[in-house]
Chains A and B, each alone.
Chain A
Amino acid sequence: MRLGTHALVALAALAGISACAPPPAPPERLTPSAIATLETQAAAHPEDRAVTLRLAKAYYAADRFADALPLLERIAQAAPADQETQAYLGLTYEGLTRYAEARAVYTRLLASKPERKVRRLLSGRLELLTRKELQLAARQAIARESLLTRTAPDPNTIAVMPFHYAGGDSTYRPLERGLAAVVVTDLSRVHQLKLVERARVQVLLDELQLVEKGSVDAATGARSGRLVGAAQVVQGQFTTGPAAQLRIDATVVRASDVQIAASGSSADRLQALFDIEKAVVFQLLDKLGITLTPAERVAISERPTRDLQAFLLYSKGLEAEDRGDFVAAAQAFQRAAGIDPGFRAASQQAATSQDAQAATTAPATDIATPLPAAGPGPLVAPGTPTLFNAINGAVPSGAVVLQGNGAGGPSGPPPSDPNRICEGANCAGPALSTLVGTIIIIVTRP
């Protein structure tokens, strides 16, 4: 995948902003003759880092990453604290698909505590880098499939496929990702198991172009498991029925011989989604002969959220993230976190998607314009908490005790709806024992 030039340029130049002022201009695409002139200058003044950096940036802008790299490495060695050089070095490594080295450079830059916008761009860059690394790993795995099948994976490594929705209401299809994510989280609580990240599995399936087919059969699942280095693969499906019923079925398939090692199923009302999912996970673990410690059992029992709407939005976020739509992903995650501020996975994913989006789309013109302290762009959608905040103030109700996210705490909300007579007559509480007299005084005035 070609790097987003604007984003990369933004990142590099912003690194420069954080180091010195005024901000450097993004590198322009120079003509071949202009590059030749720069090459001549750099050759004449090899000790001049500014000229060398200009040439490296020109190479980078012309997609001549291999030419830019030695120059940047030389400057970085001479001036390791130069963040602009470091940023271009990371970008150039990315351009050369040397992702591990790019990651090391970005991580070093992050550790130097740059300003907020640079930090976000770097975080986003790392997120995008992870996706590229996963894609590269998937392609390499597919290319080396015959070799992988002869290599026995760690027997405790397990991968979770996206669950297949067998129902007819497309509203619930995003749960295919959401359920897989929750199962991964639950199984990762078991110290005996090593989980393959959900994103790694998803990227592999995307590379194999299996997503469009809907379901992944046991043999394909086992093959996918082998490709991601898993000895076992969790595959599942769920259906919704009338009266908001939900049923989840799942199996653990051995990647080596495509035999089913364990199965589990549960059904209940849709609102009890996490009860059903936990029941299935416990059945699978039980049938795999894994004895859970009390702490593991408690950890698995934890619900990521108590709000089904929030979880559905979170699942939509995963769906958008998987297809690289970070704007939609961030909005969905933010809405999920807005509905349930305690839904940490949603809050974290929202921030990650925002950073990835910023790293993808930050235009070059933004570089010279420091962001206001308030922070990044319009990715948060207003929702129920905002509306409750507004309507509760205008149309008060004692039912506000049901909403735990307002300003009202144990001391209670402000007295916005007190005794109306007291409102007029200033019933200042118990000190005014002559309250009735006050009322009469008011009444008797002409």
Chain B
Amino acid sequence: MPRPRFALLAAMLGTAAGVAPLGAQGSDALYARFNALTGWEVRGYTFDQWQAPNPQEQPKSVSEWSVPFVIAAPLTRRLSVDLNTRYASGEVESYSGARATLSGFTDTQVRFLYTLNPDRLVGSLSFNLPTGKATVDSNGFRVAGAIGGDYLTFPVPNFGTAFGVTGGVAYAQHVGTWNVGVSSSLRYLATYQPFANSPLSYNPGVEGRFRLGADRLLGQASRLLLGLTVSTFSTDVYSGATTAGFGSYSPGTRFIGEFAFVRVVGRSTVTASAWDYYRLAGDSAGKPFPETKENVFNGELRVRYPVTPRVQVEPMVAFRQWNPESLRGGRLKSGGLAVHAILTDRLSAAVQGRYDGGWIRAQSGTAMVSSFLQGYGASVFLRYER
């Protein structure tokens, strides 16, 4: 099926780039100025020899690099838009020496944000444009599966799905000393064929989200942000498979809690943040799949320090714990360094690098497999703002 890839993307980029800077005109739009970001990002994990019945079939490494294209701009006094797409390339190498790769543009997300009441109420309409690789062969799906997990995450977790629409609304209100934001959304994704060599079609269920966020200043130098997102899903439907012709799956309700505490200490800015991702078990036609229940906790501490007025360094340490079902499924300890530089008044850059060490233990079929692993990541981002 032909897809409006580059023409559509170019049109969107052109539209956004041509927008006049409205920030100076007292814009009520959520994005008051034109912003663009691009660069290069790589993330990968290498695995030691697996403790598994079939170690040769297990992955030796999984890696992904990508080039982001992100734009945000005001369109009118109340309307703004952001657009996000990437060119990405992923690779899985097994201990048997087999390699699987998947490369191409991802889907393009275009999100319109309309300010109904300044500082109070925003409506949003987001489109998932299918510019990516939704249909892949078995090798491609091996890559897609490897980068789509919730524990060893990648910047691009998904190369493509189908056309989708998400409508949402957010309201902010002062409650005591807190700023509280509540939001809700409904997401629809069209049917698509995930496998190139199979007539199977996949119709994801509708996703509903509810979000409660809160933030406040603590004294003169600190800020606290909290968030809780709950997602519920209607049933995913698979059809057209030659083996059975029909199937369904109801994903479990998902909870994401977020916390961030930012404090200015002298010339440094210290950020302690954490999130917890908890997903209940899904079921198929009433039969539960307890192995789909999982919890991922991520904690992080960063200190940003200005070495010159235009250059800031930011070391960080992080911790991640994965608990699929009721198991201890994996743990990562990470360290990294970021350098943020203001190149000109409109152009800034961020260079980041990180290293992770940890392990993974999971069920593969009927057997438990495990491995120690090392992770790495690096990125160079350029941001333009006017």
- Separation in Å of the A115 CB from the closest CB of chain B? 14
Tell me whether A421 is interfacial, beta carbon within 8 Å.
Answer: yes
- Separation in Å of the A146 CB from the closest CB of chain B? 43
Other-chain residue from B141, B157, B172 in contact with A435 (beta carbon distance below 8 A) = B141
- Residue of B158, B180, B241, B285 most packed against chain A (CB within 10 A): B158
B82 touches A389 (CB 8 A): no
A244 touches B25 (CB 8 A): yes
Tell me whether A301 is interfacial, beta carbon within 8 Å.
Answer: yes
Which residue from chain A places its CB closest to the CB of B220 in the assembled complex? A351
A407 touches B259 (CB 8 A): yes
A378 touches B213 (CB 8 A): no
Tell me whether B40 is interfacial, beta carbon within 8 Å.
Answer: no
Tally of contact residues, A, Cβ under 8 A:
92
B194 touches A421 (CB 8 A): yes
Q: Which B residues lie within 8 Å of A443 (CB)? A: 200, 238, 241, 243-244, 246-247
A399 touches B84 (CB 8 A): yes
- Separation in Å of the B68 CB from the closest CB of chain A? 7
Interface string of B349-383 (1 = CB under 8 A from A): 00010100000111111000101000001000101
Tell me whether B184 is interfacial, beta carbon within 8 Å.
Answer: yes
**Size bracket of the B interface:** 35 or more
* Residues A411 and B262 in contact in the complex (CB < 8 Å), given A387-B119, A443-B238: no
Interface string of A405-435 (1 = CB under 8 A from B): 1111111111111111111111111111111
B302 touches A409 (CB 8 A): yes
Q: Which A residues lie within 8 Å of B328 (CB)? A: none
- Separation in Å of the A245 CB from the closest CB of chain B? 10
A411 touches B300 (CB 8 A): yes
* Residues A397 and B111 in contact in the complex (CB < 8 Å), given A244-B24, A415-B153: yes
B176 touches A395 (CB 8 A): no
Which residue from chain A places its CB closest to the CB of B121 in the assembled complex? A387
Tell me whether A390 is interfacial, beta carbon within 8 Å.
Answer: yes
A171 to B360, CA, bound (A): 58
Pick from A18-26, A50-58, A341-349 the stretch touching chain B: A341-349
- Separation in Å of the B375 CB from the closest CB of chain A? 11
Other-chain residue from A376, A428, A436 in contact with B362 (beta carbon distance below 8 A) = A428
Pick from A79-87, A106-114, A129-137, A270-278 the stretch touching chain B: A270-278
* Residues A407 and B225 in contact in the complex (CB < 8 Å), given A309-B23, A401-B37: yes
Q: Which A residues lie within 8 Å of B144 (CB)? A: 419, 421-422
Other-chain residue from B24, B146, B204, B262 in contact with A429 (beta carbon distance below 8 A) = B146
* Residues A433 and B58 in contact in the complex (CB < 8 Å), given A394-B168, A409-B273: yes
Q: 12 A-B pairs, CB-CB below 8 angstroms?
A: A308-B23, A347-B217, A375-B218, A380-B174, A383-B172, A386-B214, A387-B172, A399-B84, A402-B82, A410-B318, A410-B377, A428-B324
